[in-house]
Structure 1
Amino acid sequence: MEAAELEKHLRARVRGEVRFDAGSRGAYSTDGSNYRQVPIGVVVPRDVDAGAETVAVCARFGVPVLSRGGGTSLAGQCTNAAVVIDWTKYCNRLVSVDVERRTCVVEPGMVLDELNRQLSAHQLKFGPKPSTHSHCSLGGMIGNNSCGASAQAYGKTVDNVRRLEIVTYNGTRCWVGPTPDEEFEEIVAAGGRRADLYRGLRDIINRHMGDVRLGYPDIPRRVSGYNLDSLLPEKGFDVARALVGSEGTLVTVLRAELDLVPVPPYEAMVVLGYSDICVAADDVPRLLEHGDPELLEAIDGRMAQLMREENSHLDSLDLFPVGESWLLVQFSGDSQEAADAQVRELLEALGKRENDPDVAVSDDPKREQQMLRAREAGLGVTARPPDGRETWEGWEDSAVPPDRLGDYLRELRELFSEFGYDAASLYGHFGQGCVHTRIPFELKTADGVAAFRAFLFRAADLVTSYGGSLSGEHGDGQARGELLTRMFGETLVTAFGEVKALFDPDDRMNPGKTVSPYRTDENLRLGAGWRPRGDRTEFSYPEDDASFTRAIMRCVGIGNCRSHEGGVMCPSYRATGEEEHSTRGRSRLLFEMLGGHADSPVTDGWRSTEVKDALDLCLSCKGCKSDCPVGVDMATYKAEFLSHHYAGRLRPAAHYSMGWLPLWARLSRLAPRLVNAALSAPGFARVGKLMAGVAGEREAPAFAEESFVQWWMARGAFEPDPADPRTVVLWPDTFSTYFHPAIAKAAVRVLEDAGFRVAVPVRAVCCGLTWISTGQLATAKKVLRHTLDVLQPWIEAGTPVVGLEPSCTAVFRSDAPELMPHDQDVQRLSAQFRTFAELLINDAPESWLPPRLARAAVVQTHCHQHAVMKYDADRELLRRAGLDADVLDEGCCGLAGNFGFERRHHELSMTIAEQGVLPAVRDAPHGSFVLADGFSCRTQIEQGGTGRRAMHLAEALALGLEGPPPADRPEKALDRPAAAVRDARLVTACAVAAVGAGAVAGYALLRRAQH
């Protein structure tokens, strides 16, 4: 009842989105840490004033408040039984920039990369850069006192904050910053709550001044504890910097004035190889003596081993020199010569040369970024190692003086061995003595949790003995709050409590974190009491020990799915800005659905409407399968969920219309012109779309009057021997067969030119894609078994099968083997299936060369190809064909199979498309090719108001075989049945009769297929 009353008042007084539903609460139940607490509700304020009003309403009810940015915290700061304020959707503006003073004012939800993008015109940036820079917010960085690799040159966030606008729980709102004595006296003289705060802080620092000066380790990466040292007289009694790193336990930040730094015009990097990570750490002080690097990072052999086992970032590792561990040292300068000179001077001081096998030098920015990507991948690569040992946070960012780093690592390794945690990798910001690791804690048994807790206390004593910090980057939260007395002693921790009591006497601001903290083993996301359900599943999850539960636990909260550009993941989040519609948010809800905790807000298991609603806007693009650092495959999880959710129940109309599209496409052969006419007839089409669950805004793609298989049979081609090494099976997918047969015909032309003997199955075959994407998995298996029977001769002969539609190819390469893991023919077919480009690059005779097109091309890669098959072979084929290809990195097209056609999805589909793909196509040079192998991509481009028609790579090559196409030649029409379109006003009765007859026949076939 209290929650309902609170929600009512928040809705009445706050300009924003107020959510107390189970889905929102489940999506925000945890961050990137080991901890989980279900929030009371979530508020997404429209502006910072609304955020301040949210705090005021919560204060009236006496409920806790948690201010949250990107939610990537690793110590439990961003999970609490509180009202969560998510600033990232609306409060994300760059308020102002002062170029001369090199400062800016930002709102708390602004993402770091977006800030630096907007500052790039001024050649300025915010200095600290965590590895989460693509999605971490400035408010979160201020709360955590974030650092990143660039802190070597620019310091921590606290070193770059000038002023903060804050609001306290009791409503005091003001700007704070450095406070000269004169200003201090003015504030005190003005009276009121602000005066009380300043007087109280002055009293606390005066009483504890000696302890602060002696008790804070003098190291570059001390992030633990409150920044009481910023209140020292010699630090200017800087209240803003004292609040940085307080993790939302003292105030809520509304705006921040930040110091900026110039973007280095030139950079150079050297990578040094070592026999062991401890030996590399020993060399850090010597490197720092002979230069002033912009960053000094480390990667150990264990991390490199995991990259190789996971086939991740191999292009980065290939650039590294000989060694089992590496230090990456980057310098900047006003000229390239100045930056290069620093590298040469360092190598000379070390007695090394550029061509030594354990040295790699680069002054190419792209090459350097490629090297650094391996280091930034640390968390994702080490989170789910192939050996099956799950690794966790807890002791992931300790820091010591850099000159003592090597010895600390040796003792830390000994501690790992004592507890059986030898599999942990060691890497991090070694130039500042900060060590990152993920440890294989056992967090599902009582003994494992007890060992976890015991280890943390032993590790805290170890780092303290080296004059170090519990946290060198990620803060204290719940993970290290209980350990602070080991580092600071009782007196200083008491002083932290006095500061907390001054700002938040009732302990309502993110309670239980840093001060009066929960125990390190409370509120665990797993724990000895975690009891998830273990239902039978349709997919086999081979990389997760055949466990759907373990697959769901892949998400460790890194949050790359909340990025706004580059890659494919996650299109629905990019369009909505909603945590619930990110890959991470959906993973959290699926975790809650497992029912492992009694307080889970998701109570209906597979029948959960909250999970269904979150998955409804998942495009099944599979971008997360490749772009998520831990390989979450939400498309598969969605298909699994839909299979259980609708078991024995009536499904949405779109599942019958588009889910059974291959069947309806076959039925269209009865009268394709009449079907097209019916689909185009205004009144009938409108009613038909309504009944089929199709968006009214969508134009139905027209069926070809002659399908590819019909053309092939009429051609009367000789059926080649499956055992002939020149034989290749051209897969007649639904889209290339019934909608765009010109693509398949073009592919035949090119394959025969390359010396292949083409075979085409003339009996109906299908990959089952549409049934899989709609969760009709039992039917998909039946379809696949029939397909295997038809393909049996070619499967037994090992004949290559080439797919033209990327989504269909991806089914055989990924989905089908996971859906039917024990069927050997599925496994064989998966190995035999090729993309069009893979076949021509890897299997065509060496003497064959593709036609030279000598033309520019804008290329949209299908999401499933990006995720499963990759695009390397296509790039090479484009190069050999002389195409100057601009392969877009603009994300998903937004149509994504049936998604963009479904009712209520059209607006989101077009929003996604307008965020990248459609503007890029509109900007494509006149006369250039627009290439898109995916039917969805071509349809979206055609229907998206670009004025362009995309073609398949096979069509482009076939045009080249006809002779060099004129530069101004428009894209070739793709079998648009103009006559049928002109006949759209055929007598409605004829259309109804034709479609009605088809529906009756279809229903009969549907019933037959189901049985």
Structure 2
Amino acid sequence: MGVVALPVPTARRVGQGSLVDAAGLAADLRKRIRGGVRFDDGTRALYATDASNYRQVPIGVVVPRTLDDVVACVETCREYGAPVLSRGGGTSLAGECCNVAVVMDFSKHVNEVESIDEEARTAIVQPGLVLDELNRVTRPHGRLVFGPKPATHSHCTIGGMIGNNSCGSTAQWSGTTAANIERLEILTYDGTRMWVGPTSDDEYARILRGGGRRADIYRRLRELRDRYADEIRRRFPDIPRRISGYNLVELLDEKGFNVARALVGTEATCVTVLRAEVRLLPAPAARALLLLGFPDIASAADKVPELNKHDPFVLEGMDAKLIRYEKMEGMHPEALKHFVGRGAWLMAEFGGDSLDEALERAREVADKLGHDDAHVITDGKQRDQIWGVRESGLGATARTPGGGPDTWPGWEDSAVAPDRLGDYLRDFSDLLNEFGYGAASLYGHFGQGCLHTSIPFDLVTAEGVRDFRRFVERAAHLCVSYDGSLSGEHGDGQARGELLDIMYGDEIVRAFEEFKAIFDPDNRMNPGKVVHANPLDGQLRLGANYAPAEPATYFGYAADDGSFSRAALRCAGVGECRRHHPDNAVMCPSYQVTGDEEHSTRGRARLLFEMLRGETITDGWRSEAVADALDLCLACKGCKRDCPMEVDMATYKAEFLSHHYAGRLRPRDHYTLGWLPLAAAVASYVPGMADAVTHAPVLGRLAKRLAGVDPLRDFPRFARARFVPWFTGRRPGGTGERGTVLLWPDTFTNRFDPGIAAAAVGVLEAAGFRVVVPNAPVCCGLTWISTGQLGIAKRVLGRTLEVLAPYLRDGVPVVGLEPSCTAVLRSDARDLLGYSADLERLTKQTRTLAELLVERAPDFAPTLAGGDGSGDARPKAIVQTHCHQHAVLGFDTETELMKRIGLDAEVLDSGCCGLAGNFGVTPNHREVSLACAEQALLPAVRSADPDTLVLADGFSCRTQIDDARTGRHAVHLAEVVNAALRGVAPGAYPERDVALRPGVRHARC
């Protein structure tokens, strides 16, 4: 970090380029603000890209703690001549959230709801506030919400929405963000701080009398408005989604000279927004969805004007390509059952004061349309699943499955009048085919004429980049021929800034430049975006010179053509990993706790991308910046399921650790916890002695410290008898009428919780299976994988596969009880060992207990006492889904089995338990580990009724619940099913270290 050279712009635009003393600037910022000042290369790499095609490494990053920090940051940057960029969720698709500037990330701290006025239906909020968090606070006040709802609503910020003039599907009902802004508190680069909004003549006169910089701004804005008013009225298209350019229409007399709304959509190029007074609307109490099928997407668009006459709450369209891509990627399987046999669909949603009223409205519209393929979705859960299909559009199409091309933004959100959308789509489709871009899926906010698409541009060859530019220029002319807007939602940024003259002409573009200069005469606010824009094919994240390192790896990365660099490029920047609550997802637990970009899946993926690029991060696998970011990755694999791009950060972390520590000393816990199967095998022969060492007051703490284990953690006690010796010494049971199954003896169940395996044996035999265990020691290698000791893991897995091969070739299912180990057999083993016939058999034949019983014993249904309705109430349970069940194995069969045995189960929306194998056992992870559990799991356990069962199949989950002193002990589903067999209360179990005695079938139950 030293002197940073800013790009040298043309003299016509902003004069000569300049140098910034980054070291001095960072030092002064640290003196003046309370928040984070991060000018290290790792942080700069994190913020070098958004979700667009562009990459610009910032000077540094500031994470302000207060609004005073923001003011001080801008003041300090002004002293050094450093550009500034306000950033929200960082999901921008046009490049407006990356720049050679000091990036201010508001999302961690500057995110409060300061006040709510229920009567006026307004709220005052800070710019880093996430949309869903705002609505979570305001909804109890008469169902009031901030109306616009982009697909990124779980993690986009209000400041970002103001920057882009965001819309989303509900803008059909609410209008754009600009339409829902009452006032803004702004800060100019020169330090002027003021509230702006609609300005009456009297208010304008009062401002002029006050003099100073504020009066100068208002006077010059009025003069600009008067000079360009006629041209503004003539050149600005009157369509619902005119997002491109600055919102100069709002300065007109008929719009109330609204300075706040004129600044909405300026993409941080004019001012910094400190606060916003937002308008709130009462959301419909209930909604119903009407689904209409069509032969093609243009025919669907032709129906939009007729549907709009019925005032739908939202009206969305999507083509069959999107459905096909999501089906191939295994996304939303239940919802996709509604999308068959057609080329396109419209989704029209209608609101009402009750569900009956909403459904009646939807049915009435369906009848009036007389459409031959119309379905009203009456079930709320199905409706939400269907919306998931639409909201996953960007992620689902970014990398077309089945070996198809990668697709990119660049022309992803044009808009025309809704009644011209059908014809525009026909011409646009012809243009795509002309350039060979026919793989692009088409979808969007059709009720307002907005089209979304990701296009298979070739952005890594010189010819491909030239075609990219030619296509976008042609598309711009096509859109303008329909009196449309280059952007209907995502803004101009760098992707469309230089094209604004095509849409507006030179005179209005000059007005845009003058408008910016009124607020930012030195062009220090997010320069090179919207006006004085960098070339649309400049500063590309890839580009013709893109040549990342291609290192040899342990994992195969078959889905990424065997390339680790392609895996690191998988992240599309959508930001789903930046959710603040689990909300039916696991990803990303550490980000939910810290709120730091480096702890999101996206942040870690960006660092790996930069590591392989080798420019900002130059030390490759030895990078401490990458190691630090990955340190708080829990390897939960939530991203493998929840990320629309299926980024598998747990695998990438294991890969990185294997190279990072190659040939040098590892952390102590890598040896103790990584080699846990071997250590446990030795200790289980003398369990009493092992427990005495690990649990003695002084000796235990010393032993844990030497082992690199958190001394405040209670080490699990070894069972007095192991499962495998007990099993091999007992008399075989079961009729075997349903065949033979191999019960996988994982280390955790075998040596710590053998009663679970004994219970599973009882269940399987009662269901008619013959149970066997491997005839030699086996291990999945999980602990070596999670600590990055992949060479050992490969050898362990290879030997295990040799032991299992005879069983696999006989078609014997392998039944796993511990989800993390089962997931290795189902997934990781193939990625690590590569293809073999036996490995394919293992992948396909590995089942969970619930999967086996539901699939192969459909009539097996032991019922818990009271579960048949004979008692006062069905037995109740709260259920913690293990992360690897969520991400790899699935949980539907567990839910079905619980229902079958009469258990009234509430599956917690709790995300990761936070222990995550060895993660939560190390001292430096304790705080994050417990904070993850406190998100939802531990409060739910503490508040559960004493008669409610706590069920968790994962050893880590059960250990976390025990160790957090909740006073509750969680049980495994095998034990509950076994209790149903035996007719006992499902929570009535002796201690888990009870000895297994030969001849006792269900020792623990």
Same fold (TM over 0.5): yes
Whole-angstrom distance in 2 between the partners of 1:339 and 1:805: 45
1:180, 1:237 within 8 Å by CA — same for their partners in 2?
yes
Match of 2:232 in 1: 212
Picking from 446, 470, 481, the partner of 1:465 is 481
Matched, 1:237 2:249: no
1:534-555 Cα offsets, whole Å, 9 max, x none, are: 1111111111111111111110
Distance 1:606 1:719, change over 3 A: farther
Secondary structure class of the residue paired with 2:123: strand
1:13-24 equivalences under 5 Å are: 13-24=32-43
Secondary structure class of the residue paired with 1:960: helix
Whole-angstrom distance in 1 between the partners of 2:507 and 2:393: 37
Match of 1:480 in 2: 496
Match of 1:103 in 2: 122
Match of 1:403 in 2: 419
1:262-661 equivalences under 5 Å are: 262-289=282-309, 291-320=310-339, 323-352=342-371, 356=372, 358-386=373-401, 387-565=403-581, 566=583, 567-595=585-613, 600-661=615-676
Match of 2:823 in 1: 810
Match of 1:733 in 2: 746
Q: Which residue identity does 1:105 align to in structure 2? A: I
Whole-angstrom distance in 2 between the partners of 1:364 and 1:708: 46
Per the TM alignment, residue 976 of structure 1 is displaced from its structure 2 partner at its CA by 6.6
1:41, 1:83 within 8 Å by CA — same for their partners in 2?
yes
Q: Which residue identity does 2:255 align to in structure 1? A: K
Secondary structure class of the residue paired with 1:196: helix
Matched, 1:11 2:27: no
Q: Which residue identity does 1:390 align to in structure 2? A: D
Per the TM alignment, residue 526 of structure 1 is displaced from its structure 2 partner at its CA by 0.3
1:146-161 equivalences under 5 Å are: 146-161=166-181
1:316, 1:374 within 8 Å by CA — same for their partners in 2?
yes
Per the TM alignment, residue 692 of structure 1 is displaced from its structure 2 partner at its CA by 1.2
Secondary structure class of the residue paired with 2:729: helix
Per the TM alignment, residue 343 of structure 1 is displaced from its structure 2 partner at its CA by 2.3
Q: Which residue identity does 1:79 align to in structure 2? A: C
Whole-angstrom distance in 2 between the partners of 1:309 and 1:257: 44
Whole-angstrom distance in 1 between the partners of 2:102 and 2:164: 19
Secondary structure class of the residue paired with 1:361: strand
Distance 1:971 1:11, change over 3 A: farther
Matched, 1:948 2:964: no
2:290, 2:362 within 8 Å by CA — same for their partners in 1?
yes
Using the TM superposition, name which of 920-929 and 892-901 deviates more.
920-929
2:738, 2:768 within 8 Å by CA — same for their partners in 1?
no
Any stretches of 5+ residues in structure 1 without a counterpart?
A: 979-1011
1:870-885 equivalences under 5 Å are: 870-885=890-905
Distance 1:847 1:560, change over 3 A: closer
Count of residue correspondences = 965
1:962-991 Cα offsets, whole Å, 9 max, x none, are: 21428xx5554322799xxxxxxxxxxxxx
Match of 2:10 in 1: none
Per the TM alignment, residue 23 of structure 1 is displaced from its structure 2 partner at its CA by 1.4
Picking from 727, 730, 751, the partner of 2:764 is 751
Secondary structure class of the residue paired with 1:965: coil
Matched, 1:800 2:813: yes
Q: Which residue identity does 2:606 align to in structure 1? A: R
2:684, 2:719 within 8 Å by CA — same for their partners in 1?
no
Whole-angstrom distance in 2 between the partners of 1:64 and 1:934: 50
Using the TM superposition, name which of 535-544 and 153-162 deviates more.
535-544
Per the TM alignment, residue 671 of structure 1 is displaced from its structure 2 partner at its CA by 1.4
Whole-angstrom distance in 2 between the partners of 1:270 and 1:497: 45
Per the TM alignment, residue 790 of structure 1 is displaced from its structure 2 partner at its CA by 1.8
Matched, 1:773 2:786: yes
Per the TM alignment, residue 199 of structure 1 is displaced from its structure 2 partner at its CA by 0.8
Any stretches of 5+ residues in structure 2 without a counterpart?
A: 3-20, 868-874, 997-1005
Q: Which residue identity does 1:629 align to in structure 2? A: P
Matched, 1:116 2:116: no
Match of 2:1000 in 1: none
Secondary structure class of the residue paired with 2:364: helix
Whole-angstrom distance in 1 between the partners of 2:311 and 2:544: 48
1:738-794 Cα offsets, whole Å, 9 max, x none, are: 001110011111111111111012521100000011111110011011112222321
Matched, 1:136 2:130: no
Per the TM alignment, residue 349 of structure 1 is displaced from its structure 2 partner at its CA by 2.7
1:886-897 equivalences under 5 Å are: 886-897=906-917
Secondary structure class of the residue paired with 1:256: strand
Picking from 748, 760, 763, the partner of 2:776 is 763
Match of 1:84 in 2: 103
Whole-angstrom distance in 2 between the partners of 1:258 and 1:8: 36
Per the TM alignment, residue 323 of structure 1 is displaced from its structure 2 partner at its CA by 2.4
1:796-828 Cα offsets, whole Å, 9 max, x none, are: 211111000000000011100011113322221
Q: Which residue identity does 1:959 align to in structure 2? A: A
Picking from 195, 212, 217, the partner of 1:192 is 212
Secondary structure class of the residue paired with 2:975: helix
Secondary structure class of the residue paired with 1:650: coil
Per the TM alignment, residue 224 of structure 1 is displaced from its structure 2 partner at its CA by 0.4
Per the TM alignment, residue 718 of structure 1 is displaced from its structure 2 partner at its CA by 8.0
Whole-angstrom distance in 2 between the partners of 1:647 and 1:98: 59
2:734, 2:769 within 8 Å by CA — same for their partners in 1?
no
1:821, 1:827 within 8 Å by CA — same for their partners in 2?
no
Distance 1:972 1:229, change over 3 A: farther
Per the TM alignment, residue 647 of structure 1 is displaced from its structure 2 partner at its CA by 1.1
Matched, 1:829 2:842: yes
Using the TM superposition, name which of 709-718 and 64-73 deviates more.
709-718
1:475-502 Cα offsets, whole Å, 9 max, x none, are: 0000000110100100000010001111
TM-score by length of 1: 0.94
Q: Which residue identity does 2:424 align to in structure 1? A: Y
Picking from 41, 54, 77, the partner of 1:58 is 77
Whole-angstrom distance in 2 between the partners of 1:506 and 1:286: 49
Whole-angstrom distance in 2 between the partners of 1:41 and 1:99: 40
Matched, 1:667 2:673: no
Whole-angstrom distance in 2 between the partners of 1:626 and 1:790: 31
Using the TM superposition, name which of 334-343 and 572-581 deviates more.
334-343
Match of 1:914 in 2: 934
1:910-933 Cα offsets, whole Å, 9 max, x none, are: 011001111111122221111100
2:733, 2:765 within 8 Å by CA — same for their partners in 1?
no
2:941, 2:966 within 8 Å by CA — same for their partners in 1?
yes
Per the TM alignment, residue 683 of structure 1 is displaced from its structure 2 partner at its CA by 1.9
Picking from 855, 869, 882, the partner of 2:889 is 869
Whole-angstrom distance in 2 between the partners of 1:645 and 1:793: 37
- RMSD (Å), alpha carbons: 1.6
1:321, 1:359 within 8 Å by CA — same for their partners in 2?
no
Using the TM superposition, name which of 41-50 and 473-482 deviates more.
41-50
1:571-617 Cα offsets, whole Å, 9 max, x none, are: 00000000000000000000000025xxx321101111100000000
1:71, 1:78 within 8 Å by CA — same for their partners in 2?
yes
Whole-angstrom distance in 2 between the partners of 1:899 and 1:336: 45
Whole-angstrom distance in 2 between the partners of 1:503 and 1:351: 54
Whole-angstrom distance in 1 between the partners of 2:984 and 2:758: 19
Give the % identical residues: 58
